[in-house]
Structure 1
Amino acid sequence: MHIWIGGILSDTDTTGRTRATHVFLLLMLTQLFVMAAEANTQDFSALMILMQEWGIRPPSWVGSDPCAEGWEGIDCSNSRVTSIMLASRGLTGQLPSAIQLLSELEILNLSFNKGLTGPLPTSLGNLTKLVYLVLAGCSFSGAIPGTIGSLEQLFYLDLNNNRLSDQIPPSIGSLSNLNYLDLTGNKLNGYIPVSSGTTPGLDMLHNAEHFHLGGNLLSGKVPPELFTSKMVLKHLILDNNNLTGRIPSTIGNVQTLLTVRLDRNSLSGHVPSSLNNLSNMAELHLSNNKLTGPMPNLTGMDLLYYVDMSNNTFDVSDVPDWFSTLQSLTTLMMENTGLQGRVPQALFSFSNLQTVVLRNNHLNGLLDIGTIYSDQLQLIDLENNLILNLTQSGGSNYTLILLGNPICDKTNMEKKYCIVSRSDSSYSMPPSNCAPVACSSGEVLSPNCKCAHPFKATLVVLFVSFSNLGNFSYYTALQASLMQSFHSYNLPVDSVSVSYPTWSSSYYLQLMLEVFPSGEDRFNETGASALASVLSNQTLPRPDYFGPYIVEFYYGKSGGSNKALVIGAAVGGSALLILVALVGVYAFQHKRKAHEPWSRSIPLVRWPFITQKKQTWISNISGSVPQLKGARLFSFEELMKYTNCFSEANDIGSGGYGKVYLGILPAGQMVAIKRAKRESMQGGIEFKAEVELLSRVHHKNLVSLVGFCLEQDEQMLVYEYAPNGNLRDSLSGKSGVWLDWKRRLKVALGAARGLAYLHEHANPSIIHRDIKPNNILLDKDLNAKVADFGLSKSMVDSGTHHVTTQVKGTMGYLDPEYYMTQQLTEKSDVYSFGVVMLELITARRPIERGNYIVRVVQMAMDKTKDLYNLQKILDPAIGLGRELKGLENFVDLAMLCLDDLQAKRPTMGEVVKEIENIIQLAALSTSDISASTSGNSEDVNKDLQRGVFNLQR
C-alpha cells in the first residue's frame, strides 16, 4: 500500500505501519532550510530521514551542508550528493522510499549492515543516475523490485548474501551498461529470465562480464537463449541451485568465458560438444549433477586449470585423451565418473599439477606415475579402483592413496599408500619473524610486528585456480594486491594478513582476513567503513589465482555511536523542532543509561568479603554483590592447602587462561581448581558475571561450581572434579578411555541435555559460545558434563532473540551466521554441537590439513549405501565390527544442526528428543544411557514437551 502526502511517497506495510513520520519530518526540514544557499535542501532532508531510520549520527554529520562540511561517507559534486558509502556502520531499519530524493546519486554502498531489513523500495528506480548499487551482506528480504530496470546508467549491481526471494526480475535485462551482476546467496527462485518479444531478459546484458547467481533456489532449465555470441561474459556462476535439464549447446557461443560453475544442481543429459569451443576456459565445475552420456571432450581447452566433473553418471569409458594434453592443469577431480583403463603417465608430468582425485572409478592395470615435475603436487587419490601394480620414480612428497585397490592385498597392506593416515595439522600462515611480543588483551601481532586491534573479515572466494591450500605464495600475492588497493584509496593500512584457508560446504575457498591500522591501535568507524567499502568493490585488481569473493564481515567497532538518532537544529527558527530534539536527547540518554550494566562502576577490589562463619555477603553498596546460589568463597590460603601449594604433582591441565590443579577438600571431595594467569585475568565485571552464571545453573550434565577465590590479585574457580578428563582426550586416545557406539551416544545425549537446560530452562537463558570436545568432561561413570563458561552470554543482555556481540569461540566450531553477523543465538551452540557430533563418529578434529570435517563428511556421504558410505572416515574405535544402529539418523541430525542458516537448525530440546529416539532405535535401554531424574524440576528430559523432532521437516 502506498500513501501520497504532499507529493512524497511513503510506504505502509501490511501491518499498518506507516512512514508518515518521515514525511512530516521531511516537510518540516524542507521549510526550515528552503532559504539555505548551501547544499540542496532536498538532499539534506533526505539524509535527515536516513539518519532517523538507520539510527546513526556520525560525529561529522552536523550542520546543514553535508557537501561543504565534509560529512563522513558522503561525497558531492556541484553541491549535490552523488555518493553514499556507509558500509559496515551498524545501520538498522529499512531503506526508506525517501532515498529517491537524492536524484543525483551515483554510488549507493550500504554493504555489511546486517541490521538493514525489509523490502527494497520501488523508489530505487527513480535514482536514474546510479552507477554502483552495492547492498551486499545485509538482510533485505522480499522481491527485487522490477523498477531496478530503470537504472539505465547502472554498471555494478551487487545484492549478494541477503534474504531476497521471488524471481529474478526480467527488467534487469534492460540494464544495457551493466558489467557486474551478483545475486549470490539469496533465496531467489523460479526460472532464469530471458527476453521474449516485449519482455527483457538476462540474455540482453551484452556488456556484462559477471553472472553470479549461485546459492539460490533457481529451478527449471538453463535457457538456451541465455547465451549469444554478442556477450562478453567471463564468469558464469550458477552452482548450488535446483536447475534441471540439459546444459544448452549455445554456451559454446560465448567465447570469452573463463569460468563456468554449474555444479551442485540436477542437470542431466549429455555435456554439449560445443563446450570444447571455449578455448579461454580456465575453470570448469560440473560436479554433483545427473549428467549422462560419453565423457566430454576438452582437448581444445589448452588454458584449463581446474576441472571437476565428480559424481555424475557418465557412460563407462576409457580415460579421455585430454588427460595427457592439458598442460596447465593444477586440479583434476573426476571421482565416481565411470572411468576405466590405465591412467596415462603423461598426466603426472604436468608442471603445475597439485591434486588428482580419481577415486571410485574402474581404473585398472599398472599405475605408472613416473617422474614428477611439479613441486606443488599434494595428492593422488585413486581409492576404490582396480589398480594392480605401481611404478614410482624419485622422491614422493605427495600423498598417494590406493586403498580399496587389488594392489593393497595382504602382501602390500602395510604400504603407506594402502593406509589413509590421519593428521592433526591444519594450514596456517608461516610464523612471522617478529621477536616475542606480549600484546594486550584483544590485540594481535601484525606481520610488521606491531600490536593492534585488526579489522577482521572472512573472504569466501567463489573459485580459485589451485587446490593446494598449503602453497602460501598464493596468499602472499593476495595480501600484496589488497595492500595496493587499500593504499590506492589512501587508507591508513599498515599490513594485511590472510590465513586459515579451508573449503566451505559449497566448496568455496574461505580465508580469514586481518587488516592492521597504521599509526593507531585500531581503526575508527570511518576507517572500518572505508575498508569494508573497498572490499565490496570486485572490480579492483587481484591475483590471477583468485576469482571474485564474497565478504562475510565482522568487526568490533570502536568509537562513534550507533545508538538512536538525536537530531539537533542546525539553525534556529522552529521551537517545535527544538522541542522534538530535546525530547529525543532525553530519550536517548534515558535509553543508554537503562542499558548500561548496573554495576559497571564497581571494581573487583570493592567487592565485599564473606565471613567464613556465616558464608554471607556483607556490603553497604546496594545491588553490588553477586547473586550466588550454593557457591562459596575460598581464601587463597585454603586453596594453597588443598593443592599442596599448587604443586606440579597436582597440575592436571593447562590452557591459555592458566592451569588447573587437583584439590582435595577437608571432607574428602575432589575438586578442579582453575587458576588464571595474570595476563589472562578477566575484569571484575566479567569475573563476577561468570561466577553468578555458574552459581545459578544446576544440572547433572553441567559441571558444578563449588566456589571461587579472588584474594591476593588471584582469580580462581573451583569446580567438581571429572576423573575421566575431557572428550577430546578420549577421542584421541590420550586419556585411555575407550568410547564405543553406546558410550558415544551416552556422551552426546548428556551434552545435549546440558545445553538444552542452558537454553530453555535457565532464567534468563544462557548461550555457551564455546562448545567443543575439550569443554565436555566425563565423570567416573562417563556422564558428559558441559564445562568452561568463560565465553558464555546471558540473554538478559538483550531484549531480542539474539545478542549482538563480538565474535568469540574456537575456529572450526563457529556458527557461520554468527561469524558473519555478530548476532549470537542459541542456534550458534547448536551448530557447534553439530561439529562435535561429527567428531564423535570420526574422532577427527574439525580442521585437519585444511579440510573441514563438515565438508569431508558431506563429500563422503552416500545415503543409498550402508552407513551412508562413511566407513572409511569413521573412527575404528567406535566398533566397526559391531552393528552401529542409528548411525545414519545420528549423521542426519548432525547435518541439520550444521545448516548455514540458524532458522533451519533444530533447538537443543529437539536434538535431545531425536538422540533419545536414536538410542531407542539402537535398542539401548534408558538406564544404559542415563539414569532418570524424575521429580527434579530441572531435568530437561522430563520438561521438554515438544514431541519427536521430524528429521524431514
Structure 2
Amino acid sequence: MAAATVYRRSFHLLSLFCLLFVASSDELQTLLSIKAAFQDSNTKVFDSWESSTPVCSFSGITCDSNGFVKEIELSNRNLTGLLPLSSVCQLKSLEKLSLGFNNLYGRVTQELNNCVSLTYLDLGNNVFSGSFPEVSSLSGLVSLHANKSGFSGTFPWNSLKNMTNLQVLSLGDNPFDRTPFPSVILNLTKMNWLYLSNCSIEGEIPEEIGNLGELIELELAQNYITGEIPRGITKLKKLWQLELYLNDLTGELPPGLGNLTNLEYFDASTNRLYGNLSEIRFLNKLKSLQLFQNQFSGEVPAELGDFKNLVNLSLYENKLTGQLPQKLGSWAEFIFIDVSENFLTGPIPPDMCKKGTMVKLLMLQNNFTGEIPGSYANCTTLIRFRVSKNRLSGQVPGGIWGLPNAELIDLAENDFEGPITSDIGNAESLANLVLGKNRFSGELPSQITNASSLVSIDLSYNQFSGEIPAAIGELKQLTTLSLQGNKFSGPIPDSLGSCHAINDVNMAQNTFSGPIPASLGSLPALNFLNLSRNQLSGPIPGTLSSLRLNLLDLSNNRLTGSIPETLWSEAYNGSFSGNAGLCSEKIRGFQRCSPQSNTPQHLRMVLILLMVATVALLVSLAGFCYLKKKDERIGERSLKEDSWDVKSFHVLTFTEDEILDSIKQENLIGKGGSGNVYRVVVGNDKELAVKHIWHSDDYGGRKKMGSSTPILARRRTKSREFEAEVQTLSSIRHINVVKLYCSISSEDSSLLVYEYMPNGSLWDRLHSCKKLSLDWETRYEVALGAAKGLEYLHHGCDRPVIHRDVKSSNILLDEDLKPRIADFGLAKIVQANSNKESTQIIAGTHGYIAPEYAYTNKVNEKSDVYSFGVVLMELVTGKRPIEPEFGENKDIVDWVCGKLKTKESVVSLVDSAIPEVHRENAIKVLKVAILCTARLHTLRPTMRTVVQMLEEAQPWHLLSIVVSKDGGGKKEELMENHKL
C-alpha cells in the first residue's frame, strides 16, 4: 500500500515536471519569436535570450513561483519594430508588459485583448499609428500608460468601465479626436494618477471630478477645456500636482482651493482666469506656482513669503498690483521667478538667492522702485537677470556686472546711474548686455573685452563718455553694438573691423572724431551702419563699397572728399547730408568734385543766372503745355483729371503722367481685395507694377465718381490699406522686401508704384496654370530669402512690422527667382507700448490664418510665423493649403501632422518632383514648418530663429532627418521659448 502511494506521488510529480517542461519550452519559443520581431533594434538586451539559457534568466524577464513569465520589462531599451502581440499574449501568466520609451511603430491590434492577465501595461512614448484598440477584456488593469505614442482617432473610453481597479491612466500627448471629458473616468474611484494633457479634451471639467478622492496627480493641460475650474476639484485633498495650463478656462480660482494643502505643483497658466490670488495663501507646501498669462489682479499674498518649499514662481502677464513679499524665496533653494508685465510696486525682495541656487530673476515691465539689493552681486548661479522697464534707481552693485554664469543682464529703461565697473571682465558667459535709456555714466572699462561671450551690447541713450576700448575687436562673437545717444568721444577703434560676426553698429549722436576706419569695410555680416551726428572727419573709406548694407547713415559729420561711386544708391538717400565737405558727380545736393573753373567770378555769376532763367522758362513752358493738353480733354473723364500728390521714396526715372496713362485694362495683371495691379513700362523700358486702390466711404463702399460727399470727408475716409502699405514700405530697405518707388494719391484713389517681378508669385509657380517645375535648390532659396524678409520686418525695423497676410501669392519672384515679400495692405506697425495688436476684422487668407487670430482677433509676429510655416509646407509638399484630400474642415497643417507617425509616412509628404538626394533636406525644412505652425503661439520660434534653422538645412549640408514626435510641446518648452 505504501509503495503504491509512493508510486502515485512519483507519477504526479513526473507529470507536473513534464507539464512544466512543455510550458517552459513553449514560453522559450514565444520569447525567441519576440526577440525576432525586434531584430532591427540597436540593443544588447537580447544577448542573454538564447535557447541554451533558462527563460527566467533572460534580461528584462521576471518569472512567478511556478517558473512562468510574469513580467516583461523592456522599457527604454531602444527597441524598434512592430509590436508582436500574437506572441506576447501567448504568455498566459503575463501580468506586466512594459515597452515604453522605445521606437515601436505600426498599429496596436485587437489581439491585445488576449493578454487577459495584465495588470500593468506601458506602451507610452513610442511612434504607433492608428487608433488605440478596444480593451474591455483587460478588466484587471491597474496601470495603463499609452501617452505620447502617436495614437489618433477616438479613444475607446467605454473599454475602461469595468477596470474598477485602475489607479494610473496616462493617455496624454496623443492627437485623439476631440471629445468631452470622458464620464466613464468619474466612476474609477481608485484612480490616483490621471494624465490627459494634450489629447483633445474639450468642454468643461465635470463637477463630479471630486468623486476621485484618491487622486494624487491630475493633469488636464493643453486641451480645449472651457468654463470655470469646478469646485469639485477642491475635494481632492490628496492632490500633489494639478496641471491645467494652456486651456481656455475662465472665472476665478474656486473657493476652497486652499483646502488642497498637499499641493506642491500647481500650473493654471495661459488661460483667461481672473480675480485675486487669496486662495493661494493656504497652499504652504507649494514648490512651483505657475499662473502666468492670465488676468489675475490684486496683490500677491503676503503668505508666499513664508512658504518654506517654494522654488519656482511664475506670474508674468497678469494685472497684479502691490508689493512682492520681502521674504519671498528666502527659505528654500529658490530657482526661478518671473513676475514680468504686471503693475507691481515697491522694492525687489532681497533674499531670493539666499541659498545660492537662483537661476533666473525676471521682473521687467512693472513699477518696482529702489535699488538692486546688494545680495544679488553674490548670486553666482544667475543666468538671466532682467529688471528692465521699471522705476529702479541708484548704482548697480559691482558684482552684478561680473556674474560668471549670467548670459543676459537687462537693466534698460530705468533710472540707474553710475559706471559699469571693471567686474565686467569676470562675466565669462555674458551674451547680452542691455542698458539702454538710463543715466549710466563714466567710461566703458577696458575689461569689457574680457567678456568674450558677448553677442549684443546696448548702451544707448545714457551718459557714457570717454573712448571706446581699443581692444573692442577681441569680442569675436559680437553681432550688435548700440552706443547711440551718449557722450563717447575719440576715434572709432580700428579693431572693430575684427568683429567679423557683427551685423549692426549704431554710434550715432556722440562726439566721435577722427576718420572712419577703413577696416569696417571688411565686416562680411554688417547690415546696419549708423555713424551720424558725430564729429567724424576725413574721406569716406572706399572699403565701405564692398558692404551690402540695408542702412548706411553718415550724415551730420565733418566728412570731406568724394562720395564713393559705388555708394551712389537710391537706398542711401540722405545718408551723407550735413557734411559740407563732401562732393559727388551724381548725387543731388552736393557740390561737384571737378576742379574750380578759371572763369572770373562775375562771369560765373552771369552763367548761373542764365542757367536759372533757362530752367524757369522750361518749367513754365512745360506747365503751359500740360495745362493746354488737359484743357483740350475737358469733358473726358480720366485719372489725369484729378489732382495728384506724388511722394517719392527713391530717385524716380519716370513721370506721373507715364504712370497715369498706363492704368488701363490691357495692362491689368492682377486683382486683389484692396485694388487692381497693372504692369507699366515707362520710357526707359523699365517695368513697374502699379497697384490702384480706390478709397472707401464710411460704409466700406467704393467712392463713386461725382460723389456729393464733401472733400474733407472724403480725405478722412482714405483707404486704410493704402495708408498701411505706404507707411510700411516707404521706410523699408531690404533685398527680400518689394521696393516701393513712390505713391501717387488723389481724393478718390491712390497708386502705389513698385518694382516689377517678372516671374509672378510663388503660388503661380507651385499651383496655377503658370506652374513651373522648381528644383529643390530654388525652393530652398525662396524659403530662406522670404524668411529673411520677414525677419527684417520683425526684428530689423525701428518697430516690428506684422504683415498679417503672409502667403505664397504674396511672395513674388524676380527674374532670377529671388523672393520678395509683397502686399502690405494688411500690415500694421506694432505700437511702441504694446506687444500685441487686435483688430475687429479677421485679416488674412483661409488656410494661412493662425488659430489664435481666428478666435481671439489678437495678432502678433507669431501669427506671421504660423502663416510662413504653411508656405514652407507648400514648398516641401507641393500641396495647396486647402485640398479636398485633407478631409472636411482640415488644412495642410492637419494633414502633415496626421502623417508624423513613421519615417516612411513622413517621407511620403515630400513632393514627388523633389529628387531622392534632397529629401532629407526637405524633411529638415518640413520640421521647421511644423515648429512654425504650433497651435500655441508661444511655442513657435521667432523669424530670427527660423532663419537660423533654415540655414542649417541648406541642400549641401548632409544632416540627419529629425522629425518632432511631440504632440504639441510641454510646459518646459513653453518656458524656454518665452520671450523672457
The TM-score bracket by the shorter chain reads 0.3 to 0.5
Q: Relative contact order: is structure 1 or structure 2 higher (C-alpha 8 Å, sep ≥ 6)?
A: 1
- What TM-score, normalized to structure 1? 0.43
Larger radius of gyration: 2
